[in-house]
């Protein structure tokens, strides 16, 4: 994971490596006691977009911060080596050099590049020397319904190919049936298969039924050793939302307060506008604090977001908006 980071004001600072979450024994009393007041959560979520307003240089700094937290992603059936190589080039130079120079942000990169297993080696080779990690989606992504031994084997293959981060998908029926032991055992096996690679547990929150289920699944995955918990695959009909984010980050806060270990958070899918990124960043700052505003503890799973941020930064520097087609991802 990254050893240097950008502050919310845009300054480069060293970051001590966070000890990995080792997990703990499954505490069913803690899991069963988890609650989620849906009406209160939704009311709070509605107030978030209007509670924080940053302008001018401060907004530009926050948008640069958001770029450093993006997992630049391509997960399409028609991915090619050329597309992944162009995406890697974009990750290493996410904004035009002249704009970064004007902002004093030379050297800014995205947090990672995320691809299917078949493209891991291509991405690793394309990113050599940049310090940008490759994340691989695994375990039968996005449904997670391939044979269990194949899902575990897929993790190992991606790690062997050079992936430093593995985004796994949980079995949703374990949550829907309240089978917390099965979910814990599955997550623990997947964490073990990752070895030194950090594991992001995708909950597919749009398919879990209730916010209470989201809270419980978050706790179980952290107890089993997840380094990150992530909202969605980006392929569901409902992906990252502010109510779900509130539930998950409060579970992370609760876990940290009880165990002393920080777990990361990744909202994925549906975040495509710079103004949305600012809302998520302010929520994380409010709920978890500045330490979580670093790429080893927070990521956006959103590639189209980068294009809109680049447009906003160009407007900040030049006073003019450019066409979206001038900011292609790959």
CB atoms within 10 A of CB 230: 28
d(CA 1, CA 168): 18
CB atoms within 10 A of CB 193: 21
The pLDDT of residue 3 is 46
Beta bridge pairs of residue 265? 229, 298
d(CA 297, CA 290): 10
d(CA 226, CA 194): 10
How does the average pLDDT of the chain come out, rounded?
92
| The two structure tokens encoding residue 245 | 């984010």
- C-alpha dihedral over 233, 237, 241, 244, to 10 degrees? -70
| pTM given for the model | 0.92
Asked if the model's pLDDT at residue 13 lies above 70, the reply is no
Asked if the model's pLDDT at residue 321 lies above 80, the reply is no
Domain ranges of the chain: 21-326
d(CA 12, CA 14): 7
The pLDDT of residue 9 is 43
The pLDDT of residue 11 is 41
Asked if the model's pLDDT at residue 14 lies above 50, the reply is no
| The two structure tokens encoding residue 163 | 């992936």
Tens of pLDDT, residues 47-61: 988 766 788 999 999
CATH code assigned to 21-326:
3.20.20.70
The pLDDT-based confidence of 320 (bands split at 50, 70, 90) is confident
The pLDDT-based confidence of 322 (bands split at 50, 70, 90) is confident
The pLDDT-based confidence of 7 (bands split at 50, 70, 90) is very low
- Nearest Cα neighbor of 158 from 199, 201, 203 is 199
Tens of pLDDT, residues 23-35: 999 999 999 999 9
Compare 275 and 14 and report the one with higher pLDDT. 275
Terminal-residue alpha carbon distance, the chain:
24
The pLDDT of residue 2 is 44
The pLDDT of residue 313 is 96
d(CA 181, CA 204): 19
Q: How far is CA 17 from its chain centroid?
A: 18
The pLDDT of residue 49 is 86
Count Cα atoms within 13 angstroms, Cβ side, for 295.
30
d(CA 13, CA 80): 36
The pLDDT of residue 12 is 43
The pLDDT-based confidence of 85 (bands split at 50, 70, 90) is very high
| The two structure tokens encoding residue 282 | 């302010």
Tens of pLDDT, residues 156-197: 999 999 999 999 999 999 999 999 999 999 999 999 999 999
The pLDDT-based confidence of 302 (bands split at 50, 70, 90) is confident
23-37, 102-116, 311-325: range with lowest mean pLDDT: 311-325
d(CA 230, CA 284): 14
Active site residues: 167, 230, 266
- Nearest Cα neighbor of 248 from 282, 198, 283 is 283
């Amino acid at each position: 994971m990254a050893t240097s980071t950008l502050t919310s004001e845009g300054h480069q600072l060293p970051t001590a490596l966070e000890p990995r979450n080792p997990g703990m024994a499954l505490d069913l009393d803690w899991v069963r006691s988890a609650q989620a007041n849906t009406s209160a959560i939704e009311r709070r979520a509605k107030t978030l977009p209007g509670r924080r307003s940053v302008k001018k240089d401060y907004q530009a700094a926050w948008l640069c911060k958001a770029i450093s937290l993006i997992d630049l992603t391509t997960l399409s059936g028609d991915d090619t080596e050329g597309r992944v190589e162009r995406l890697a080039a974009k990750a290493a130079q996410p904004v035009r050099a002249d704009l970064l120079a004007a902002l004093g942000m030379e050297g800014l990169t995205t947090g990672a590049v995320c691809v299917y297993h078949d493209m891991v080696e291509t991405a690793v080779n394309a990113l050599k020397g940049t310090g940008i990690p490759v994340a691989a989606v695994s375990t039968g992504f996005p449904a997670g319904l391939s044979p269990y031994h194949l899902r575990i084997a897929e993790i190992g293959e991606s790690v062997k190919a050079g992936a430093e981060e593995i985004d796994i998908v949980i079995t949703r029926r374990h949550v829907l049936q309240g089978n917390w032991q099965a979910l814990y055992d599955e997550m623990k096996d997947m964490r073990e298969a990752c070895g030194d690679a950090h594991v992001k547990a995708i909950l597919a929150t749009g398919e879990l039924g209730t916010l209470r289920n989201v809270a419980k699944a978050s706790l179980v995955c952290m107890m089993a050793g997840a380094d990150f918990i992530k909202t969605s695959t980006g392929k569901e009909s409902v992906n990252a939302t502010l109510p779900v984010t509130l539930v998950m980050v409060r579970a992370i806060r609760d876990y940290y307060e009880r165990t002393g270990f920080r777990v990361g958070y990744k909202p994925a899918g549906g975040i495509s506008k710079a103004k949305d990124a600012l809302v998520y960043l302010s929520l994380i700052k409010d709920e978890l604090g500045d330490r979580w505003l670093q790429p080893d503890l927070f990521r956006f799973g959103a590639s189209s977001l980068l294009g809109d941020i680049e447009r906003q930064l160009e407007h900040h520097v030049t006073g003019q908006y450019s066409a979206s087609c001038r900011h292609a991802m790959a």
